[in-house]
Amino acid sequence: MTAATYDVLGIGNAIFDIMAQTDDAFLGSHGMAKGSMSLIDEARAKAIYDAMGPATEISGGSAANTIVGIASFGGRAAFVGKVKDDKIGKLYTHDIRAANVTFTTSAATDGVATGCSYILVTPDGERTMNTYLGAAQNLSPADIDEQQIASAAVTYLEGYLWDPKDAKEAFVKASKIAHGVGRQVALTLSDAFCISRYRSEFVDLIRGGTVDIVFANESELLSLYESNDFDAALKQLRTDAKLAAVTRSEKGCVVVAKDSVTAVAASPVAKVVDTTGAGDLFAAGFLYGLAINAGHQRAGELGCLAAAEVIQHIGARPQVSLKELARKKLAG
């Protein structure tokens, strides 16, 4: 096997995040389920934008956030996602490249606008997402560069890709290419509501070996196996997956492999401001830890450190160098 050009290449929805602080009453008046991710159309997007308060705007998307985190740790990172050649698409492209991420996917010249996610953050830090996929849903197998996938040690896929048909096919194509040259494939389950739509298909992806590494939070794990028993669900995941990391908020995370179970404590947090991106940045730290052969314990610690950084401010991307943060906090 030739040496990898990239530590991690992510494939996901290229989404521009528009975030505002709000309260439970606003969510209720607009029929939003707190903590959920809902797919919306352009009319609904406009209605939410018109009603929400002052916003912070930044390039986002689940897998893209993870890949930016990889780069912040000093890892070699690339991203594949679809934007339109419009104002927001140009902003998105500039932002992700400025974060030292290779991004070469061709922008669409016609069709719908670049995707946006309208994220409402309540005082407890919980985020409720309303996502207009726009051009992101037009990611297709043609956007998958075989040579680029083959040159990544890990190809990282987001569960949200399972919504659009063409993106699903791109997901499967990338997995086959990666495995064809002996590389690994990782999947984040993304959202309990996403799992409810595609539960059996996600289980098949894990059991069938389409993915090698699985990321989930506690609620996603319970949704995947339709269980109220965390330990039982974790045992099933350990049976089904080659390697998995399950985040548990203030309880840290649990890393399970066929021959081991590793519990890792959460990193201390002064105040939770916004949980947007916590899982994305955990995956960044964990995958970077695997890339440098740090072992499951240290990979989990890097994941928890990155997640702790991102939940202490608005926005789903780190505001400091994660490489420097890890050097200071995890020395030794």
Q: What is the pLDDT of residues 117-164, one digit of tens each?
A: 999 999 998 889 999 999 999 999 999 999 999 999 999 999 988 888
Per-residue pLDDT for 276 more than 90?
no
Per-residue pLDDT for 321 more than 90?
yes
Per-residue pLDDT for 331 more than 80?
no
Mean confidence (pLDDT) of the chain? 94
Sequence-distant (≥ 6) Cβ neighbours of residue 200 within 8 angstroms: none
Q: What is the CATH number of domain 6-12+62-111+135-329?
A: 3.40.1190.20
- Residue 250 has what pLDDT? 93
- Residue 332 has what pLDDT? 53
Lowest mean pLDDT among 73-77, 183-187, 190-194, 317-321: 190-194
Let me know: does 80 contact 143? Beta carbons within 8 Å.
yes
Per-residue pLDDT for 286 more than 70?
yes
Let me know: does 254 contact 216? Beta carbons within 8 Å.
no
Query: Of all helices (H) and strands (E), which one includes residue 176?
Result: helix 165-180
Closest CA to 120 of 317, 274, 16: 274
Per-residue pLDDT for 312 more than 70?
yes
Average pLDDT over residues 279-285: 97
Sheet with 115-121, edge to edge strand ranges? 37-39, 127-132, 115-121, 15-21, 56-60
| Per-residue pLDDT reduced to its tens digit, 49-84 | 999 989 988 888 999 999 999 999 999 999 999 999
Average pLDDT over residues 25-52: 92
Per-residue pLDDT for 1 more than 80?
no
Tell me 262's DSSP state. E
- Which amino acid type is present at position 33? A
- Percent of the chain's residues with pLDDT above 90: 84
Let me know: does 280 contact 62? Beta carbons within 8 Å.
yes
Let me know: does 34 contact 27? Beta carbons within 8 Å.
yes
Cα gap 32→36, rounded to integer Å: 8
Tell me 267's DSSP state. P
Give the pTM: 0.92
